[in-house]
Structure 1
């Protein structure tokens, strides 16, 4: 009886899990050239979806993510480099669209604050002893 319930539970679990496992890149977006397709996917991994925050455009089902995936593939077919494509998208959408934003003078607080807090806590902890 327990084995039957366990099998039934596993089947139900798998059925409900299947819709979660979906690939966002649609077949009509895929390039015939495997090298270009690989480059497109690598670029897409570094671009944040503007709608589904903290998800790259390669895994997002949002319309704007699809548009950006198509744009990347069009730019690759035009012969642009990865950095040119990333710079183009960055110029249109700003630092937010990049998973690794550039280090600039006005972001120094964001980059330095974790280190400052770590050292502050570290020295305050050992100073009390």
Structure 2
């Protein structure tokens, strides 16, 4: 019985290695292979978000690698393949999205926030300075009022 269980466990362990397959792509020319490698390291996996399609193990990345392989084998150029991927998955599939109206928020948003913060800090400091200068104006009328208040005693007697 122990041998039987050991044999089943060994066969299960051997069958697990079938999941560790390596994708092998064959190309007609060295240029096609180089183009495939460049695109694999240039295109971003839409699911993983920060991995290239060459680095990702997601099913979508595998599909994208297969599509890039097919298009490369069909003789399409790098730009044609990138344009196809952008048309299908949007500008997110590239690591350097072009400057468009939709991506301008990403490009200029942080700069605008910093500028607004700087303007608010300057405006607030100027307002505080004007309030401080208004409080510093002290004239003889205010001095007389202060002396009158200081000379008044709580029980109604005046200092002589």
Which of the five TM-score ranges fits, normalised by the shorter chain? Answer: 0.5 to 0.7
Number of equivalenced pairs: 105
Instruction: Report Cα offsets for 1:36-95 as digits up to 9, x if no partner.
Output: 111111112221112222101011111221111121121112111101001111111112
From 29, 53, 56, give the equivalent of 1:57: 53
Matched residue, 2:106: 110
Partner residue of 2:34 out of 12, 31, 38: 38
Q: Does 1:87 align with 2:101?
A: no
Cα distance in 2 for partners of 1:35, 1:122 equals 52
Structure with the bigger RCO (C-alpha within 8 Å, sep 6+) is: 1
Larger radius of gyration: 2
- List gaps (5 residues or longer) in structure 1: 1-24
Once the two structures are overlaid, the 10-residue window that deviates more, 70-79 or 29-38, is 29-38
The corresponding residue for 2:132 is none
81-90 vs 117-126, greater mean Cα deviation? 117-126
| Offset at residue 30 of structure 1 (A) | 4.6
Provide the alpha-carbon RMSD of the alignment.
2.6
* Equivalent residues of 1:29, 1:70 under 8 A apart: no
Kindly indicate whether the alpha-carbon contact (under 8 Å) linking 2:28 and 2:73 is maintained by their aligned counterparts in 1: no
Counterpart of 2:92 in structure 1 is: 96
Deviation at 1:107, TM superposition (A): 2.1
- Separation in 2 of the partners of 1:109 and 1:37? 37
Following TM superposition, by how much is the alpha carbon of 1:121 offset from its aligned partner in structure 2, in angstroms?
A: 5.6
Q: Structure 1 46/125 Cα, relative in aligned 2: closer, same or farther at 3 Å?
A: farther
Partner Cα separation in structure 2 for residue 126 and residue 45 of structure 1: 46
Structure 2 unaligned residues grouped into runs of 5+: 1-20, 126-160
